Amino acid sequence: MKKRNIITASVLSAAMLMTACGSTGDSAPADPAADVGTENAGASAETENASDEETGSSSGETVEIVYTARGNADEIKVYQQAVDAFNEAQSSVHVTFEASPSDGYNQSLITQLAGGTAADVIFVEDTIINQLIKNGTIANLEDFMATDSSYAKIEDFDETVLNATRTDDGIWGLSVDCNPMVLYYSPAMFEELNIEDPQELFANGEWTWDKFDEICTTLKDNGKYGMVQGGDNIRLYNWVFGNGGSVWEGDTYKFDDKAREAFHYVCDRIQDGRFVYGGTLPDGQGEDAMFMSRQAGFIAAGRWLTKTFHDEGIDFDYIPYPSKSGEQYSPAQICLGFLCVNAKSEHLEEAMQFLTYYCGTPGQSARITGVGTSVPSVKTLDEMLVESEVPAHLDHILKVRATGWASGTDEVKDTMFAGFADATKSVFEEAYVNGADPDEIIEKVEAKAAEVIAENQ
């Protein structure tokens, strides 16, 4: 790849989903353990060995790399914090961050990687990570992570956040952080409408589909939507797993009886008006706007809306998805984005050094402290989040991380097959938008899935 002087948007995107600097010396990076406590002191020894010679800069010339990612304004500011921190921690490598438009980001990235014009470090969504692994356009990180030049080790991460990028041949990306999926709601609005407190229901084991229905009915009676049901398949699967159902049987996409029941549950509530399908909202009326204007009682998201809502003074709290039985913390998705290295980068080792910094303890420390947009994927950094005390029931999102599922695992293999998500979503929408019979749609979506899987063989 031609040497570039800017870090491209692909890398930034990765940081964004999950959420570094001037020179402190010419030999070793600053000790990342200094800011994060003694439990990560091992990182100090690792970074002390990352000398100019190890990064290919024995001549003293600074290597320029580019990192690219997509995100909203708040997320981009957070990404830049970790880039600045890395640039300040050592002088051998300088990273430039380039923010990329979100629209068309994935296709643009795939094209750039194939053509050799992508940034050195790129942000990659879980929906295309397997496609990039298969086509060989991203580099294997496993050998580098075993060296003293790496700021992160495999054991720093839970298996849940590694599974989607790990194969028998290696590790092809690291999670920049993570975003377990929870429901946002407004305690103040619920109190005004005399709606039962979801936190009390949850604590008493009564946070069930029936109770959720009662609340959504009250919201509808007061001229609001109970829930904005997102259009991506993952928002459906959270209901499936909350009913103990499954949608994959080995390598076959197949809805069991409980998954079918969950699909009926969602479709019925969209049709009766207690839910609104996110794909039918008017332009400019996304789920965040619907929530901020009090037009909807519940929206589903990770922590990425927290900073915006907090800064805007919006009243909100977290509550996990309800389950049919009242089981607490039934599995919900952990949204992941990854940083990967362009396999054609002229500076593979320097790019991997930045990547492991950004995704490791020092980079996540720089991005996640305070009221941020994500949750740590490094296991030892939860206290940074807890100290923010925003929102009141912050602990829910950490417990969902412990029980949740990640796309690309055995429970949800959607991202392992190129084109799967879009092909199946278009079928589901026939029920969400046009009111097609749910059972007929399930048969149709299973057949469409089989076609896509066969095309990927």
Taking only the tens place, the pLDDT of each residue in 264-297 is 999 999 999 999 999 999 887 899 999 999 999 9
Q: Is the pLDDT of residue 86 over 90?
A: yes
Distance CA(301)–CA(278), nearest Å, equals: 13
Residue 284 burial (CB count, 10 A) = 6
The mean pLDDT value for 9-25 works out to: 33
Prediction pTM value: 0.79
Q: Where are the beta strands (DSSP E) in 271-343?
A: 275-277, 296-301, 317-319, 334-335, 337-341
The predicted structure's pLDDT at residue 89? 95
Of 7-11, 115-119, 286-290, 335-339, least confident by mean pLDDT is 7-11
Model confidence at 59, in pLDDT bands (50, 70, 90)?
Answer: low
- Average pLDDT of the chain is 87
Model confidence at 21, in pLDDT bands (50, 70, 90)?
Answer: very low
The predicted structure's pLDDT at residue 163? 78
Q: Is the pLDDT of residue 441 over 80?
A: yes
**Diameter of the chain by CA atoms?**
71
Residues 9-178+335-386, CATH architecture: 3-Layer(aba) Sandwich (3.40)
* Residue 226 near residue 274 (C-beta atoms within 8 A): yes
Residue ranges of domains in the chain: 9-178+335-386, 182-332+417-455
CATH number of this structure's domain 182-332+417-455: 3.40.190.10
Q: Do domains 9-178+335-386 and 182-332+417-455 have the same CATH topology?
A: yes
Q: Where are the beta strands (DSSP E) in 101-189?
A: 121-125, 166-167, 170-171, 174-175, 179-180, 182-185
Which run of H or E residues covers position 165?
Answer: none
pLDDT digits (tens, 9 = 90+) for 309-348: 999 999 999 999 999 999 999 999 999 999 999 999 999 9
